[in-house]
Amino acid sequence: MRRLLLAVMTLWWREVIRFFRQRSRLISAFAQPLVFWLLLGAGLGQSFRPTGAPETTGYFEYLYAGIMVLVLLFTAIFATISIVQDRREGFLQGVLVAPVPRWSIVLGQALGGTTLALLQGVLFLVLAPVVGVHLSIASAPATVGIIFLLSFGLTNLGLMIAWRMDSPQGFHAIMNLILFPIWILSGAFFPISGVPVYFEWVMKLNPLTYGVAALRRCLYLDNAAGAGEIPQLAFSLLITSLFCILTYVGATRTAAS
């Protein structure tokens, strides 16, 4: 057992060290969503007001939670995309012939990616007061908790893709065709109320919708009305937890085959 823990820890630590030694990755995973937020928030703020949210919530504030999830998604992808190359001509080759089970390799990688996303997420959380989201003793730790869950689920999703891909280009294609649309249709970009019915169903079936909802619920823990018309916290947490478990199992299975 100690041996397995040692393997998980060492792989986890390696991901963290690598990330910090590649500053450009660190910065771009954070800066890209930030720029996106500033441009869209400023550009759409005057002409677009989110439906189902309180009068006082501007688009800038609405988009905040969505951009938070995008920061997590980008970090998770940046952390996992390197695995494609690493497996074929890198450190991972050696890991694959070491006497450790695949699930422990995946767990180490998942925790590594999760740690990085969590750090970036907390860094972004510092900006909350700027848009008028005031964190309290209750809502701040709750938000960090949900950021952790989301980071873990998204990293697992990244791992599921990375272990299947033969080239980083393939990963980029999946990112543009699947991951980005999942984010757009999660209530991160525009609210679920006010979209056509068929669209509403797509959004309701999207697991990330509940991740974004859980995040909003936690950010507005002390002011439930501020979160707008979105799924309840308990149900959102349940779906997000299930998402984490299923993606972890999925990633382990992909790695084992």
- How many Å apart are CA 83 and CA 90, to the nearest integer? 9
User: Would you say 17 or 178 has its CB closer to other proteins?
Assistant: 17
Q: Give min distance, CB of 78 to other proteins, in A.
A: 14
- How many Å apart are CA 37 and CA 42, to the nearest integer? 8
- How many Å apart are CA 147 and CA 122, to the nearest integer? 8
Dihedrals φ, ψ of 149, to 5°?
-60, -50
Q: Give min distance, CB of 92 to other proteins, in A.
A: 8
User: Would you say 39 or 256 has its CB closer to other proteins?
Assistant: 256
Q: Give min distance, CB of 22 to other proteins, in A.
A: 7
Task: Give whole-number Cα distances, 16 to 81, 113, 225, in Å.
Answer: 14, 8, 38
Type of residue at 125: L
- How many Å apart are CA 243 and CA 207, to the nearest integer? 7
User: Would you say 102 or 207 has its CB closer to other proteins?
Assistant: 102
Q: Give min distance, CB of 25 to other proteins, in A.
A: 10
User: Would you say 87 or 216 has its CB closer to other proteins?
Assistant: 87
Which among 223, 231, 32 has a CA at the least distance from the CA of 133? Answer: 223
Which among 71, 75, 70 has a CA at the least distance from the CA of 184? Answer: 70
User: Would you say 22 or 223 has its CB closer to other proteins?
Assistant: 22
Give the footprint of other proteins on this chain (CB under 8 A). Answer: 2-3, 6-7, 9-11, 13-14, 17-18, 21-22, 88-101
- How many Å apart are CA 171 and CA 161, to the nearest integer? 7
Q: Give min distance, CB of 226 to other proteins, in A.
A: 42
Cβ–Cβ < 8 Å for 87, 96: yes
Q: Tokens 């797509």 map to which residue? A: 202
User: Would you say 7 or 72 has its CB closer to other proteins?
Assistant: 7
User: Would you say 5 or 39 has its CB closer to other proteins?
Assistant: 5
- How many Å apart are CA 211 and CA 233, to the nearest integer? 10
Cβ–Cβ < 8 Å for 72, 121: yes
